[in-house]
Structure 1
Amino acid sequence: MSIVETVTADMKTAMKARDKQTLSVIRMLKAALMNEKVKVNHELTDEEAQAVIAREYKQRKESLDEFQKGNREDLVTETQAELKVVEKYMPKQLSQAEIEKIVATTIAEVGATGTSDFGKVMGAVMPKVKGKADGKLVNQAVKSQLS
Structure 2
Amino acid sequence: MAGWRGRSGGAGTTSVRSRSHRRRTPRPPRRAARRGEAWGRSLRVATTLKAQLREEITSALRSSDKVRLGALRMLSAAVTNREKEVLHELSDDEVREVAGKEVKKHAESIEAFEKAGRHELADKERAEREAVSGYAPTQLTEEQVDALIDEAFAETGASGPGDFGAVMGAVMGRARGQVDGTTVQRKVKERLG
- Shared fold (TM-score greater than 0.5)? yes
Q: Give the helix-richer structure, 1 or 2.
A: 1
Aligned partner of 2:59 in structure 1 is: 13
- 4+ residue segments displaced more than 6 Å: none
Aligned partner of 2:152 in structure 1 is: 106
User: In structure 2, how many angstroms separate the alpha carbons of the residues matched to 1:42 and 1:113?
Assistant: 41
User: In structure 2, how many angstroms separate the alpha carbons of the residues matched to 1:97 and 1:144?
Assistant: 16
Count of residues in correspondence between the two structures: 147
User: In structure 2, how many angstroms separate the alpha carbons of the residues matched to 1:72 and 1:18?
Assistant: 25
Aligned partner of 1:126 in structure 2 is: 172
User: In structure 1, how many angstroms separate the alpha carbons of the residues matched to 2:64 and 2:110?
Assistant: 26
Matched, 1:67 2:133: no
Shift of 1:103: 0.2
Q: TM-score, normalised by structure 2?
A: 0.72
User: In structure 2, how many angstroms separate the alpha carbons of the residues matched to 1:27 and 1:61?
Assistant: 18
Aligned pair partner of 1:3 in 40, 49, 67 = 49
The structure showing larger relative contact order (alpha-carbon pairs under 8 Å, at least 6 residues apart) is: 1
User: In structure 1, how many angstroms separate the alpha carbons of the residues matched to 2:59 and 2:79?
Assistant: 18
Aligned pair partner of 1:32 in 78, 98, 116 = 78
Larger deviation: 45-54 or 71-80? Answer: 45-54
User: In structure 2, how many angstroms separate the alpha carbons of the residues matched to 1:80 and 1:66?
Assistant: 12
Which has the greater radius of gyration? 2
Aligned pair partner of 2:127 in 56, 81, 98 = 81
Q: Is the 8 A contact 2:75 2:102 kept in 1?
A: yes
Aligned partner of 2:142 in structure 1 is: 96
Q: TM-score, normalised by structure 1?
A: 0.93
User: In structure 2, how many angstroms separate the alpha carbons of the residues matched to 1:23 and 1:75?
Assistant: 16
Gaps of at least 5 residues in structure 2 are: 1-44
Q: Tell me how large the CA RMSD over aligned residues is.
A: 1.3
Q: Identity percentage over the alignment? A: 36
Aligned partner of 1:45 in structure 2 is: 91
Q: Is the 8 A contact 2:95 2:135 kept in 1?
A: no
Q: Is the 8 A contact 2:97 2:136 kept in 1?
A: no
Corresponding residue SS for 1:89: coil
